[in-house]
């Protein structure tokens, strides 16, 4: 019989409270005295809600308060009864209308207290009153979907805290960090090293990826991973296996693929992992590990003039150099006047080879200079090219 009650409810789009009330009257569950008590409590609750969110003296606020209180009672009844109209009607019989409204409100407050995403700690959280103002007008289906999402977030955070403790990381050190990155980092450590004694810094992360590429995943890594799943609490198993699947499907093939440039791969993978802070010496090791090709091509030059010289060569479809002789500069000007300049090759070079932290600034530099550069080098009034050469001497490296 309860299944029939739920089936009937599916085809009735009235608020669940109204369906349960009608069912209770038809089935003789709700006596006249209870109906009268509900009719008396309803306006009291509406006034309280209107005062909380606005004022009881404006008709729109009262009308909205009626919708809110019906939604709150419906939410509580539907969740507590599992959608069974008979159980819901008996709940209305045994409790007051206002107690059901408070029950729905408490459920929304509990939803508000749950994490909004999988970060450990939220920098800015919506006020409870603003949240209730929004969610007391939403449906039970919206509530169930949000609760399921937030429960998954909580499970991810709990699993991340478990791994963080094993890695010796205090909860305060991972505030606002994406919890998935902590789990993923721990799993990669087990796979690569057969243990996860501590979080890597960026330089150690580069070394770990390089070791995997050179030697593959060691047998002890797989054994270590299997062992950790044996001691991992059941509540963390699903979330952790999901992160392992992402690592093995998305990251590991790229790490092991020698055809993928490591200097391009590392900046793309690094945001997915949680690395401890590193000092200046370690930073320089990280930069060198990522940007060996960049160092070779630029000859270690990082000043704007040298880099613009290199970008100009690329834009003219010429081998990149950080400095040009006067003769080479004149030849380049002639080529540009015949074939023109292309903006894109330098941008592609920046994304492929430049250190990740420099890429946005270098792109901005090139995009800002390119129109002026193009205009100066192809000016038809400069027949001899002397002005173009003077411009290059001023803005590039010409020897």
CB contact at 8 A, 316 and 341: yes
47, 56 Cβ separation under 8 angstroms: yes
177 pairs with which residues across the strands?
A: 120
At 158-205, the pLDDT tens digits run 999 999 988 888 877 776 678 898 999 999 999 988 776 678 877 678
Burial of 372 (0-12, 13-18, 19+ CB in 10 A): exposed
The gap from C-alpha 202 to its chain's centroid, in whole angstroms, comes to 20
Tokens matching residue 73: 């009672």
Rg (CA), the chain: 33
Q: By the 8 A CB rule, do 324 and 332 touch? A: yes
Integer Cα distance of 17 and 167 in angstroms: 50
Closest alpha carbon to 307 in 347, 274, 258, 344: 347
pLDDT class of 88 with cuts at 50, 70, 90:
very high
Q: How far apart are CA 4 and CA 27, in angstroms?
A: 14
pLDDT above 80 (res 284): no
* Paired tokens of 35: 């109906």
Tens digits of residue pLDDT in 129-149: 999 999 999 999 999 999 999
pLDDT recorded at residue 330: 86
In order of 46, 107, 148, 362, 386, the CA distances from 317 in angstroms are: 74, 65, 55, 19, 22
pLDDT given at position 10:
47
pTM of the entire predicted model = 0.64
The pLDDT tens digits for 98-141 are 999 999 999 999 999 998 888 776 555 788 999 999 999 999 99
Give me the percent of the chain exceeding a pLDDT of 70.
88
* pLDDT of the residue at 12: 63
């Amino acid at each position: 019989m309860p299944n029939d009650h739920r089936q009937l409810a599916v085809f009735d789009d009235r608020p669940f409270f109204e369906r349960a009330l009608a069912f209770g009257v038809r089935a003789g569950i709700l006596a006249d005295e209870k109906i009268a008590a509900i009719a008396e409590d309803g306006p009291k609750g509406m006034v309280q809600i209107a005062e909380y969110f606005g004022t009881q003296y404006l008709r729109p606020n009262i009308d909205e308060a009626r919708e809110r209180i019906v939604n709150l009672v419906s939410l509580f009844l539907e969740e507590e009864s599992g959608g069974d109209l008979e159980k819901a009607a008996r709940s209305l019989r045994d409790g007051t209308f206002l107690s059901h409204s408070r029950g729905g409100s408490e459920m929304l407050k509990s939803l508000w207290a749950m994490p909004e995403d999988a970060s450990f700690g939220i920098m800015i959280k919506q006020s409870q009153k603003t949240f209730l103002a929004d969610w007391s007008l939403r449906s039970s289906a919206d509530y169930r979907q949000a609760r399921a999402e937030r429960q998954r977030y909580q499970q991810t955070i709990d699993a991340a805290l478990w791994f963080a403790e094993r890695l010796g990381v205090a909860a305060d050190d991972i505030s606002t960090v994406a919890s998935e990155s902590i789990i993923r980092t721990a799993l990669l450590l087990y796979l690569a090293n057969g243990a996860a004694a501590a979080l890597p810094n960026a330089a150690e992360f580069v070394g770990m990826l390089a070791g995997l590429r050179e030697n593959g995943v060691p047998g002890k890594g797989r054994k270590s991973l299997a062992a950790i799943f044996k001691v991992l609490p059941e509540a963390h198993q699903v979330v952790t296996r999901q992160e392992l699947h992402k690592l093995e499907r998305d990251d590991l093939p790229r790490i092991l693929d020698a055809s993928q440039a490591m200097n391009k791969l590392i900046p793309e993978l690094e945001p997915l992992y949680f690395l401890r802070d590193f000092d200046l010496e370690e930073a320089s090791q990280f930069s060198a590990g990522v940007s060996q090709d960049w160092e070779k091509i630029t000859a270690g030059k990082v000043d704007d003039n040298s880099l613009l010289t290199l970008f100009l060569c690329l834009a003219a479809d010429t081998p990149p150099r950080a400095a040009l002789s006067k003769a080479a500069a004149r030849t380049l000007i002639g080529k540009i006047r015949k074939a023109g300049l292309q903006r894109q090759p330098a941008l592609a070079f920046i994304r492929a080879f430049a250190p990740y932290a420099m890429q946005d600034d270098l792109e901005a530099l090139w995009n800002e200079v390119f129109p002026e550069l193009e205009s100066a080098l192809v000016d038809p009034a400069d027949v001899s090219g002397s002005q173009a050469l003077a411009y290059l001497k001023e803005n590039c490296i010409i020897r």
